[in-house]
Amino acid sequence: MTEERKYRKPSLMEAVLVLLFSAAFIGAGVLYWEVSVHIPIVVAATVASLVGRFVLGRPWRDIEEGMVNGIMVGMQAMLILYIIGMLVGTWIPGGVVPSMIYYGLSILNPAAFLLTALIICSIVSFATGTSWGTSGTVGIALMGIGAGLGIPAPITAGFIISGAYVGDKMSPLSDTTNLAPAVAGTDLFQHIRAMMWTTLPTYAIVCVAAVFLGMKYAGGTLDVAKIKAIQAVLAGEFNISLMGLIPPILVILMCVMKIPAIPGLFAGVVAGGVLALFNGYGVGDILSVTLDGYSAKLAADLANAGDMATVAKLMQEAGISGVTPEMAKEVGTLLSDLLTRGGMMSMANTIALITCALAFGGIMERCGFLEVILDNVLRVVRSVGGLATSVIVASFISNLFLGDQYLSIAMPGRIFKPAFEWKGLHPRMLSRSLEDSGTLTSVLIPWNTCGAYNSGVLGVPTVQYAPFAILNWLNPIMAITITYLGIGVAWKGKDGEPVIAKERPAELA
């Protein structure tokens, strides 16, 4: 048997069948059996390996090497995610996250509720790196405030989701913001800089829409009691101060100074730890929260109190006044869910999922399934705009059929990475396109994990809030438009740094 026969490429039909089976099984696992996506991905990877071994004739060591190489692509992202867990673990007792929530709620204004709700969710999501945590905590509180102002629930939910996802998308603490550059082959801060080209103009349009729609409900009365209760419980458990803004400012400055992500984020961990020391936590406490995360104390006690007398006693001990015990218990539940998080171990599930997804992608790549599909796509797609559009559409289709945003970043990323390299584009163009669609469109699909979650916690059907989640559907359109116009297109320079130009510079050809 010749070497070519041993290592033959799959046909287009074989590649499509493997991909369709994988999508169907993973989708069924998430949507029908309602299990975590990890094991369905492992099953799909197993089937792809079996086809590669017994149909295409590839030896196991070759398939295993592809799997390991696929995982190695994400090693930096996994290290960063562990550091992010440590960072969140120190930022909560250090008062960073509580201070950002506290001051964010202070800017609420009935005349511009939708705009301020959008900004608050952006701040909280950027500070915590989680859209789910934002919509499931602060988002619920804002839904109640919006109802009191007479604003229809789908409108409020749409702007909450827009804010939650822009913060998640742009935050260096977010898992998807780290996964996308890992898959594409660029670094975290290059990825964030690239997303500014598409996200900032989209965000500006969403802000204008928030002001315009909010004018209709400007005469409503703000639920000041709930806001004061949230701020009172935060102040009772944490040291609220402008000093809490120093660590995030430090991380942003390091990003601007092009400090690599790992030392830049670790500096934020140290800064948060120092603030926690000043707030009365011991060294042992700080070391513990960097591993296991912070567990809310006062908020949890209020949430778990058996009667209002106990709540009143807790409030007296914490110096909380001007708030009813019933309201204190309600916001205690919200804040307990939001603030019990962080630590290295909190990232274990996400890192396991990324490992499974990247291993699957490595197998699909090594066995040639992705190459065959890409070759057929590139027969009709040649322009930079066409490549970006293809990635954005592929990520959306992945969200439709795979039901998970991580796979909607990992799979199209593995498929299109060689095409962006061949074209001479900087890999941050690929990572930007992946997140412009893979992260944002997931919440617009009712059966996707993100859509189902947000619909459940906000109490609004996905199809009803989707038109008002303007950022989530407008950002992919903006990304396609500005790429076709040649705005913000980054080519890979000879030193590996991006070169911004509409057309590829002649010296790089």
Q: What are phi and psi of 43, to 5 degrees?
A: -65, -45
Distance CA 437, CA 397 (A): 10
Instruction: Please report the pLDDT score of residue 316 as a whole number.
Output: 95
* Gap between the Cα atoms of 441 and 396, Å rounded: 6
Helices (H), 319-368: 325-339, 348-366
Predicted confidence at residue 356, as pLDDT, reads: 87
- The reported pLDDT for the residue numbered 328 is 95
Helix, strand, coil tally for the chain in percent (to 5): 75, 0, 20
Residue 249 neighbours by CB distance under 10 Å: 11
Q: If we measure between CA atoms, which residue out of 38, 4, 62 comes closest to residue 407?
A: 38
What is the predicted pLDDT for the residue at 6?
64
How far from each other are the two terminal CA atoms of the chain, in whole angstroms? 41
pLDDT tens series, the chain, 509 aa: 444 446 789 999 999 999 899 989 988 887 789 888 889 989 999 999 999 999 999 999 999 999 998 888 778 778 887 888 898 899 999 998 888 888 877 877 777 889 999 999 998 888 878 888 788 768 877 886 787 577 889 999 999 999 999 988 999 888 899 999 999 999 999 999 999 999 999 999 999 999 999 888 777 667 788 888 989 999 999 999 999 989 888 887 886 787 877 888 899 999 999 999 999 999 999 999 999 999 999 999 999 999 999 999 999 999 999 999 999 999 998 888 878 888 999 888 878 877 888 888 889 889 999 888 878 887 888 799 999 999 999 999 888 877 778 888 988 998 899 899 989 999 999 999 999 999 999 999 987 878 888 888 888 899 999 999 999 999 999 999 999 999 999 999 988 899 999 988 878 76
Give 365-401 pLDDT, tens digit per residue: 899 998 888 788 878 887 999 999 999 999 998 888 7
How many CB atoms within 10 Å of residue 32?
Answer: 10
> What is the token pair recorded at 233?
């419980």
Check residue 137 and give its pLDDT: 67
- Rounded CA gap, 395 and 11, in Å? 23
* φ, ψ at 251 (rounded to 5°): -65, -40
CA–CA gap between residue 10 and residue 57 (Å, rounded): 10
CA 184 to chain centre: 16
DSSP, res 55 = I
Q: Rounded distance, CA 349 to CA 326, Å? A: 35
Task: For residues 420 and 58, give the distance between their C-alpha atoms in angstroms, rounded to a whole number.
Answer: 27
Where helices occur in 7-149 by DSSP H, the ranges are 12-31, 38-50, 60-73, 75-91, 96-106, 113-128, 131-135, 138-148
56 and 49 in contact (C-beta within 8 Å)? no
Judge if pTM exceeds 0.85.
Answer: no
| C-alpha closest to that of 353 among 432, 409, 395, 433 | 409
